[in-house]
Amino acid sequence: MRISLSSVLAAVLASAVIAEPIRHSSSKIPQGFVTTKGSQFELNGKPFWLPLLLTKTDVDSTFKQMQAAGIKVLRTWGHNAITEDELAGAKASGLTYYQVWNSGDWILNDGPQGLERLDYVIEAAGKYGIKVILTFTNNWSGYGGLELYIDNIVGANQTHDVFFTNPKTIASYQRYVKTIVNRYKNSPTIFAWELANEARCLGDLPAGPACVPGSNTVVNWYKQQSDFIRTLDPYHMITTGGEGHFYWKTPEAASDYNYNGQAGDDFDADLTLENIDFGTYHMYPQLWYPSEDHPGTGFSVEAWGSTWVKQHAAGKITCSSLPSVDLNDFFFSEAGKKANKPVILEEFGAGPTQVNMTAFYHNWVNTALGTDHA
């Protein structure tokens, strides 16, 4: 039988109009499948939280999987601060929080939604043979970062770097650090204390005129805080949590934030500090060089990352990762070797504009393993 194309299309369109749509029915969802109930997620009829491990069962399950994967060290926030006007929402949602800021000061939450949860994380980590790096604050506003100290203690219209030099912000930070260190200093599960995540002259607030190349604002703060912690705890290691910014006094580095000291940091100097036991650095090439990450620029995210890794290890490395540097230029970066201290690649990432991220992640990790990284 001969059927015209128009009759077929008409039949399809008609069936599309009269057919009942397939609806998602939570009553038919098998066990183990996540579904919704109103504005919440549910798993097997119980509330399911995406970003939070609210129960000891959640924590144990996570550590069990980490142990099976061969993970030996976990880095986690030893901080999460909120303001008084966020408190009701935090309690209702089950959010974990350790500090509540109000009227220029903070109070500690050592209850069941606070440090009692961190207590169990440390306990469970030890049970599964996993060490923990605890970070004391964040350079950025996420998780109640260091700018809450500025906002509440110093006030409005300040620059970010005030945190590192103001006696009152330093005293408040040290009061919190002392609380955490004294709570866990007898635990061998702690791998190291970490002073801050990604400390630099600027954050969500801009940098001030005193935080410039050569000021060593962040380096000096690292020394002050690591010396302070050592008076509290003679045994655990201390590290910075920094991104690994250099201060290279070369023409090639002068215009590059990662190399010219503008961050207020100096990776080489960090490792010379007596109470900094090992170095950390991070790596996000596309965030740091957005104008370079385009076809035709000659910039390779994979190659830049591999060189950044080498620059934080011992030995002779090329400076060609700087977009303006000639491929034949060389620089000797032997911070880890000179200080005789370990170095770890603590964070890294790349976005979707690069094909085959898996391949160059593998390359970055192998480069780190092949250049005496810890």
Which residues belong to the active site? 198, 347
305-318: string of b/e by CB count within 10 Å (b at 16+)?
bbbbbbbbbbeebb
> What length does the chain have?
374
Task: Tell how many helices (H) and how many strands (E) occur in the chain.
Answer: 13, 14
Q: How far apart are CA 148 and CA 205, in angstroms?
A: 11
- CB neighbours of residue 83 within 10 Å: 16
Q: How far apart are CA 266 and CA 247, in angstroms?
A: 5
Q: What contacts 24+ positions apart, CB below 8 Å, involve 207-210?
A: 207/159, 207/160, 207/161, 207/262, 207/264, 208/159, 208/160, 208/161, 208/162, 210/161, 210/165
Nearest to 99 by CA among 156, 189, 162, 179: 179
Starting from the edge strand earliest in sequence, which strands make up the sheet with 105-108, in order?
Answer: 81-83, 99-102, 105-108
